[in-house]
């Protein structure tokens, strides 16, 4: 790994998990704060370009050592780049132009259930009644947030389209997570991340150029540069490496439990920096999502090893 050894039983792995989830929550909040200054496609491209510049020196020896193995799975890597890098966060950033950061981070709690449902579709794994019940409860939670506690909004289709963009983006992330399952065991995950970021940038490039031709380049301000640098370094690289290191010491199941801090941290950060208020329907919706997730997961088989999560 790319970090110093940690003493057995130390609190450091837990601190690394808190740091990682805080960084991933900050991704949603900062993207919402930038929605009027940088277009979503340009923001996504700038984020992943920064990440690639940081990752390349770290991953280059691994890329060279596993070049032949990477070429064997080039089609899978292209699909990973499409869903995980080019589409997922770009759609989330588009959604954050018209929805609150609080909504976006709370919807993030749906990802485990999306993965479960997609696995049912892809591999025909039968779902128990408890899993279906948990999914239904989580859906009720999402509807509570989308409708702001008022069901007449749903009946009149009067809800924020930004919520739909965010949920579709998170669905693409769930697809990305499932695609990781087919990678060979001996393939270095840092090398995979670097290749998929590079391929994702290649996919985004023509859309970014078209976006710039229509809207121009963002203002060359210190705040914009610092924001893109944060998104490229903290959620995309440092959080990932911290999470990988914590998983090595605690195991994937225990580490994955900390991912539930993302909605909590995100809602808190949105209140502190964006003056967004946490309403009763946010709390009720998140409670329903978590209750459904707990109910479904308690009936599901043991999950596969945790996936790379470059939020």
Other residues' Cβ atoms within 10 Å of the Cβ of residue 287: 13
Q: In the chain, what are the domain boundaries?
A: 12-297
pLDDT at 304 over 50: no
pLDDT tens figures, 48-58 = 999 999 999 99
Predicted pLDDT of residue 159: 64
| Cα 305 to Cα 169: distance, rounded to the nearest angstrom | 22
- Which pLDDT value is given to residue 307? 46
Contacts 24+ apart (CB under 8 A), 157-161: 160/98, 160/99, 160/103, 161/95, 161/98
pLDDT confidence of residue 255: 65
User: pLDDT, tens digit, for every residue of 276-286?
Assistant: 887 887 888 77
Separation CA 100–CA 199 (nearest Å): 30
| pLDDT given at position 4 | 44
**Residues, the chain, total?**
311
CA end-to-end span of the chain: 20
Question: Half-sphere exposure of residue 307, counting CA atoms within 13 Å on the CB side?
Answer: 21
Per-residue pLDDT band at 215 (split at 50, 70, 90): confident
pTM here is: 0.81
Looking at per-residue pLDDT, the higher value among 88 and 136 belongs to 88
Q: For residues 102 and 182, what is the distance between their CA atoms, to the nearest angstrom?
A: 33
Distance CA 44, CA 61 (A): 27
User: What is the predicted pLDDT for the residue at 256?
Assistant: 62
Mean pLDDT, the chain, rounded, equals 82
For residues 310 and 27, the model is more confident at: 27
Q: Which of 201, 11, 9, 189 is nearest to 89 (CA)?
A: 201
pLDDT tens, position by position, 245-256: 787 677 655 666
Q: Grade residue 154 by pLDDT with cuts at 50, 70 and 90.
A: low
The CA–CA distances, whole Å, from 263 to 69, 101, 105, 175 equal 37, 10, 5, 20
């Amino acid at each position: 790994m790319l970090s110093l050894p940690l003493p057995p039983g130390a609190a450091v792995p837990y601190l690394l998990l808190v740091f990682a989830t805080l960084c991933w929550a900050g991704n949603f909040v900062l993207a919402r704060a930038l929605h009027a200054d940088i277009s979503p496609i340009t923001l996504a491209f700038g984020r992943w370009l920064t990440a690639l510049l940081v990752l390349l020196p770290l991953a280059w020896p691994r890329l060279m050592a596993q070049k032949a193995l990477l070429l064997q799975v080039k089609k899978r890597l292209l699909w990973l780049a499409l869903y995980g890098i080019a589409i997922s966060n770009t759609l989330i950033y588009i959604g954050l132009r018209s929805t609150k950061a609080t909504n976006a981070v709370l919807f993030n709690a749906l990802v485990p259930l999306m993965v479960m449902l997609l696995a049912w579709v892809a591999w025909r794994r039968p779902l128990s009644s408890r899993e279906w019940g948990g999914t239904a409860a989580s859906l009720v939670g999402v509807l509570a947030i989308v409708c702001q506690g008022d069901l007449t909004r749903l009946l009149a289709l009067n809800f924020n389209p930004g919520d739909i963009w965010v949920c579709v983006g998170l669905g693409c992330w769930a697809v990305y997570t499932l695609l990781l399952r087919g990678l060979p065991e001996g393939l270095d995950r840092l090398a995979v991340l670097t290749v998929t970021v590079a391929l994702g940038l290649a996919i985004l490039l023509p859309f970014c150029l078209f976006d710039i031709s229509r809207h121009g380049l963002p203002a060359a301000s210190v705040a914009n540069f610092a924001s893109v640098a944060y998104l490229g370094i903290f959620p995309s690289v440092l959080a990932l490496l911290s999470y990988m290191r914590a998983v090595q010491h605690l195991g994937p199941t225990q580490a994955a439990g900390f991912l539930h801090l993302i909605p909590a941290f995100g809602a808190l950060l949105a209140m502190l920096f964006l003056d967004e208020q946490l309403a009763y329907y946010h709390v009720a919706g998140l409670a329903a999502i978590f209750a459904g997730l707990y109910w479904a997961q308690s009936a599901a088989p043991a999950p596969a090893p945790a996936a790379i999560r470059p939020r």
